[in-house]
Structures are given as structure tokens and as C-alpha cells.
Amino acid sequence: MNKGTTKLLQAVVVLVGASALAFLLWVPHVEGRNAHATLFQIYFEDPFLAYAYLASIPFFVALHQAFKALGFAGRGEGSSPATAKALRTIRLCALATIGSVVLGEVFIVMSESDDRAGGVFMGALVAFGAAVAAAAASKIERKLHGTS
């Protein structure tokens, strides 16, 4: 991979991370039941929001590892042990994200609500994206080790 491509991909990773962080911070303020709530009510009286913030940590760790792996690739160290370790971390973070989504889905389904479909669908989308990321990281990691 040439330097220009890796820099572009690193910029995309940073943009994805910044967008996700902005989404996590902005949505609770405009979401239906919190539209007229105080900051205390939004951030300290909603256990699901606290869980969503904790569950997002593996996502941001995976983005950091992707940024590092792209940096290794840009320096010509794409098949180094450090790259393999970053890919393994990305795979584990994706699996942790899937587990967090499953627990969040259980929380949504068990809670008293008349509108679960949106949350369940969004969770399914996140889990699918994380599964794709885990599969891609696993495939690339195997390719680096020379097995198929």
C-alpha cells in the first residue's frame, strides 16, 4: 500500500470515530423521551445510556487499532507481528461489540416499551457490521500468517 492510500484510509478511520462520538453525545439530547429533560436526567437517570457508552469502548479501541495497522502498512510493515496483533485486537473488539449488542437487545426486549422494533433493528445492524469487521480482520490475519 502506498502512503497516500494509507493516509486517506487513516483519515476515514478518524472521520468514522469523530462521527460516532458526535452521534453518542448528540442523540441523547434530541431523542424522544429526553427532548425536554435536564442534563442530569439524561446522563444519570438512564442506565441504558450508561451501558451504551460502556459498550462503545471496544468500537473505539478497534478504530485505534485500525489506525495503527494502517500506519504499519504505510511504512511497509504490513506483515509484521505488530500488524497481526492489531488485527487480532480488532477481531476481539468486534466480538465484544457483538456481545454488548446482544446484551443490549436483551435489555430492550425485557424493558417495558411499546416501540422495541427500532432499537432491535439498530442493534442488528451494529452486530452485522461488527461481524463483518471480525471476519475481515480474521481473514487478513490468516493471510498474514500464510494460512487460508
Walk along the chain (148 residues) and give the pLDDT tens digit of each residue.
Answer: 788 899 999 999 999 999 999 998 887 777 766 777 777 777 777 788 888 899 999 999 999 999 999 999 888 887 888 899 999 999 999 999 999 999 989 988 888 777 788 888 989 999 999 999 999 999 988 988 775 5
Phi and psi at 75, nearest 5°, equal -90, 5
Given this model, what pLDDT does residue 20 score? 94
Question: Using CA atoms, how far apart are residues 113 and 40, in angstroms rounded to an integer?
Answer: 22
Instruction: Write the DSSP string, the chain.
Output: --HHHHHHHHHHHHHHHHHHHHHHHHHHHHSGGGTT--HHHHHHS-HHHHHHHHHTHHHHHHHHHHHHHHHHHHTT-TTSHHHHHHHHHHHHHHHHHHHHHHHHHHHHHHS--S--HHHHHHHHHHHHHHHHHHHHHHHHHHHHHT--
- Rounded distance, CA 33 to CA 120, Å? 18
pTM of the model: 0.85
How many separate domains does the chain show? 1
* Domain containing residue 31: 3-145
Q: In this structure, how many other beta carbons lie within 10 angstroms of the beta carbon of residue 124?
A: 12
